[in-house]
């Protein structure tokens, strides 16, 4: 079953054609990442799906509803969705726990507040005022507010910006845990390693159009791309691109009569592939 179904989505701001005909189909339980450079149209797309921006053309169905829906049906719909905006938490005079408790009151089936604070690693900061949190801690609070309502569908817009590496890993574990509960997740991120760690499928968007949708392992022909074998030969580093790295290494083993100096065998990373994909058209 499709949780997100988008056909021919378009949106312009005056002369700026931000989204120029986007199609998306995201299944229940899937973690789907939107990748693209600054200004590609990710936030515009996501905010239309969330019901925060109008569209010029196209069909959108989110959990079976058009985000343009108003009134009681819209409230019921919103109850099933969690959103982590680029910064949702207001720097007010409330403490962390008060804020999460307050948000939990908006939902008919909220998660346990203490559990959510523990899940985002903020239990020690539960009594702290929001305005005294660090940037990364604020972001974790944003994530807590996104998941407090037990959403069926979670939108995460650059969720780990400002996280230190340990917090990012902890966040990934939290998302994996949500995956286990069948939550569908639409993620935008600039971190290719994050997309690779979390996403079942990624869509690369550039200049308002989707260039490719695929699994991270297969994007841009990555799975079948050539390997690079590199080694030291005297005072030179040599590199050879090959479809058969094992036979190259076997030949080198014979040539060096054993250990090959500084041998590495690599394949293009998701980031290499992504940069090549957007390279030609990046503004």
Q: Does 18 engage in binding with ligand ATP (CB under 6 A)?
A: yes
Closer CB to ligand ATP, 103 or 274, in the complex: 274
Burial state string for 91-105 with b = 16 or more CB within 10 A and e = fewer than 16: eeebbbbbbbeebbe
**Using CB under 6 A, which of the segments 31-39, 166-174, 220-228, 231-239 binds ligand ATP?**
31-39
**CA-to-CA distance for 209 and 119, rounded, in angstroms?**
35
Burial bucket for residue 236 (CB in 10 Å: 0-12, 13-18, 19+): exposed
Tell which residue, 16, 94, 25, 100, has the closest CA to residue 61.
25
Three-state secondary structure readout of 31-77: EEEEECCCCCCHHHHHHHHCCCCCCCEEEEEECCECCCCCHHHHHHH
Are 168 and 160 in contact by the 8 Å Cβ rule? The answer is yes
The CA distances from residue 1 to 4, 28, 62, in Å, are 9, 6, 11
Q: Does 24 engage in binding with ligand ATP (CB under 6 A)?
A: no
Q: Does 159 engage in binding with ligand ATP (CB under 6 A)?
A: no
Q: Provide, rounded to whole angstroms, the least separation between the CB of residue 56 and ligand ATP.
A: 12
**Using CB under 6 A, which of the segments 1-9, 34-42, 98-106, 141-149 binds ligand ATP?**
34-42
For the segment 200-229, give every residue that binds ligand ATP (CB under 6 A): none
Strand order in the sheet with 236-242: 236-242, 227-233, 264-266
Q: Does 278 engage in binding with ligand ATP (CB under 6 A)?
A: no
DSSP 4: E
Q: Does 16 engage in binding with ligand ATP (CB under 6 A)?
A: yes
Q: Provide, rounded to whole angstroms, the least separation between the CB of residue 93 and ligand ATP.
A: 30
Q: Does 160 engage in binding with ligand ATP (CB under 6 A)?
A: no
Q: Provide, rounded to whole angstroms, the least separation between the CB of residue 257 and ligand ATP.
A: 52
Closer CB to ligand ATP, 18 or 122, in the complex: 18
Q: Does 15 engage in binding with ligand ATP (CB under 6 A)?
A: no
Q: Does 241 engage in binding with ligand ATP (CB under 6 A)?
A: no
Q: Provide, rounded to whole angstroms, the least separation between the CB of residue 142 and ligand ATP.
A: 15
For the segment 35-94, give every residue that binds ligand ATP (CB under 6 A): 36, 38-44
Q: Does 237 engage in binding with ligand ATP (CB under 6 A)?
A: no
For helices 165-180 and 135-147, angle between their N-to-C axes, nearest 10 degrees: 10
Q: Which residue has the tokens 């997309």?
A: 195
Q: Given the rule CB under 6 A, which residues bind ligand ATP?
A: 13, 16, 18, 36, 38-44
């Amino acid at each position: 079953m499709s949780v997100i179904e988008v056909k021919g989505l378009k949106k312009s701001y005056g002369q700026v054609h931000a989204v120029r005909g986007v199609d998306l189909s995201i299944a229940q339980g899937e973690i789907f990442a939107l990748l693209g450079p600054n200004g590609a149209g990710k936030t515009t797309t996501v905010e239309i799906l969330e019901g925060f921006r109008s569209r010029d053309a196209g069909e959108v169905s989110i959990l079976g509803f058009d985000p343009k829906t108003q009134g009681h049906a819209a409230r019921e719909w919103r109850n099933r969705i969690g959103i982590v905006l680029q910064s949702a938490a207001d720097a007010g005079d409330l403490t962390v726990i008060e804020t999460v408790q307050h948000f939990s009151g908006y939902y008919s089936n909220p998660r346990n507040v203490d559990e959510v604070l523990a899940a985002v690693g903020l239990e020690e900061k539960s009594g702290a005022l929001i305005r005294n949190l660090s940037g990364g801690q604020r972001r974790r609070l944003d994530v807590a507010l996104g998941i407090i309502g037990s959403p069926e569908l979670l939108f995460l817009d650059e969720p780990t910006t400002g996280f230190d590496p340990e917090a990012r890993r902890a966040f990934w574990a939290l998302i994996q845990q949500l995956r286990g509960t069948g939550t569908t997740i639409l993620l935008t991120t600039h971190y290719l390693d994050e997309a690779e760690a979390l996403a079942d499928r990624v869509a690369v968007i550039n200049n308002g159009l989707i260039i490719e949708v695929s699994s991270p392992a297969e994007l841009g022909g990555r799975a079948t791309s050539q390997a690079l074998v590199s080694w030291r030969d005297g005072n030179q580093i040599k590199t050879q691109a090959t479809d058969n790295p094992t036979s190259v290494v076997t030949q080198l083993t014979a040539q060096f009569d054993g250990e090959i100096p500084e041998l590495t065998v690599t394949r293009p990373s998701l980031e290499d592939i992504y940069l090549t994909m957007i390279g030609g058209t990046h503004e």
